[in-house]
């Protein structure tokens, strides 16, 4: 790789951080280099024109950003989280609702990718023995990738995208299409609101959510922006609400407002 290419890539990583708050790992750098350089060539980008093209050509910026973002997802990723949700947390909420005027729950899926996580949260709710007494349930889902949100809205999943689903869940919550894919029932889809946005800049109201899933999201921000996002998520939780993080994010300081709780191999954070 030429010195000019190295300088161009390093300049791009800096601009990416300034625009999105994202920081790429060394492994991502290695996997992305050739693909990014190919896109830079496609849009006639050099180091001198990089900033202007990314600012003035939305199509180029979106295509390059999509190349950076990871849209790999599957149903019930880290199944233990969903077991805890199904068997412990939802029954707790159902018990609380018996003594509360609020008969609804709201969750947020951050970095929802192509939609498998919010759908998994909903299925865990409906599979919980306590769901009938827990009230209504809605999931807000957000992702920086426009392409991922489009796929989630289409909600037409191929065999690879459906890994993690048991045959029982496929039969109960999905319908086959004519092309060999599976589509979730309309009743599930109407419970999800998808938004294309960056959680770093997205406005969240205080005390709105009973559950927040932000798994493997914070690791892609630098330390300053990661802290901003964490504090934003904590504020958005209701007292007694639960925050789910990825395994590699366990142990990151979240302050005295949350209490870490261990369930088997999983650590989940509860807002005091």
* Domain extents in the chain: 3-68, 79-271
pLDDT greater at residue 205 or residue 220: 205
pLDDT at position 45 over 80? yes
Listing DSSP states for 111-156 in one string gives T-TTTHHHHHHHHHHHHSTTGGGT-EEEEEEEES-HHHHHHHHHT-
Query: Which pLDDT value is given to residue 219?
Result: 86
Give the mean pLDDT of the chain.
90
Beta pairing partners, 271: 258
Instruction: List CB contacts of 63: < 8 A, sequence separation 6 or more.
Output: 39
Q: What percent of the chain has pLDDT over 70?
A: 93
Confidence band of 133 (pLDDT split at 50, 70, 90): low
Question: Looking up tokens 């947390």, which residue turns up?
Answer: 89
pLDDT at position 80 over 60? yes
pLDDT at position 254 over 70? yes
The total number of residues shown for the chain amounts to 272
pTM of the entire structure? 0.91
CATH fold, domain 79-271, is Rossmann fold (3.40.50)
Contact by Cβ (8 Å): 105, 158 = no
Cβ of 152: how many Cβ atoms within 10 Å?
27
Q: What percent of the chain has pLDDT over 90?
A: 72
Fill in the DSSP letter of residue 88: I
Contact by Cβ (8 Å): 241, 215 = no
pLDDT greater at residue 134 or residue 181: 181
């Amino acid at each position: 790789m030429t010195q000019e290419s190295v300088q161009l890539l390093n300049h791009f990583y800096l601009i990416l951080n300034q625009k999105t708050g994202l920081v790429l790992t060394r492994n991502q750098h290695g996997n992305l280099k050739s693909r990014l350089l190919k896109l830079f060539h496609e849009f006639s980008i050099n180091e001198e024109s990089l900033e202007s093209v990314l600012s003035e050509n939305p199509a180029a910026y979106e295509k390059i950003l999509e190349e950076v973002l990871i849209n790999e997802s599957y149903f019930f990723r880290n199944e233990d989280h969903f077991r805890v949700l199904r068997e412990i947390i939802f029954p707790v909420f159902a018990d609380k609702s018996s003594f509360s005027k609020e008969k609804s729950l709201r969750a947020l899926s951050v970095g929802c990718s192509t939609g498998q996580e919010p759908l998994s949260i909903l299925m865990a709710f409906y599979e919980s023995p306590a769901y009938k007494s827990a009230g209504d349930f809605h999931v807000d889902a957000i992702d920086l990738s426009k392409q991922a949100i489009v796929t989630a809205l289409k909600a037409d999943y191929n065999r690879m995208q459906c890994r993690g689903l048991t045959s029982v869940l496929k039969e109960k919550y999905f319908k086959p299409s004519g092309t060999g894919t599976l589509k979730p029932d309309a009743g599930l889809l109407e419970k999800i609101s998808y938004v294309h946005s960056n959680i770093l800049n997205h406005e969240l109201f205080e005390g709105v959510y009973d559950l927040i899933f932000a798994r493997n999201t914070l690791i892609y921000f630098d330390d300053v922006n990661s802290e901003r996002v964490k504090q934003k998520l904590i504020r958005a939780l209701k007292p007694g609400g639960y925050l789910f993080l990825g395994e590699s994010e366990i142990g990151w300081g979240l302050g005295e407002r949350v209490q870490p709780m261990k369930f088997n191999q999983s650590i989940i954070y509860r807002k005091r």
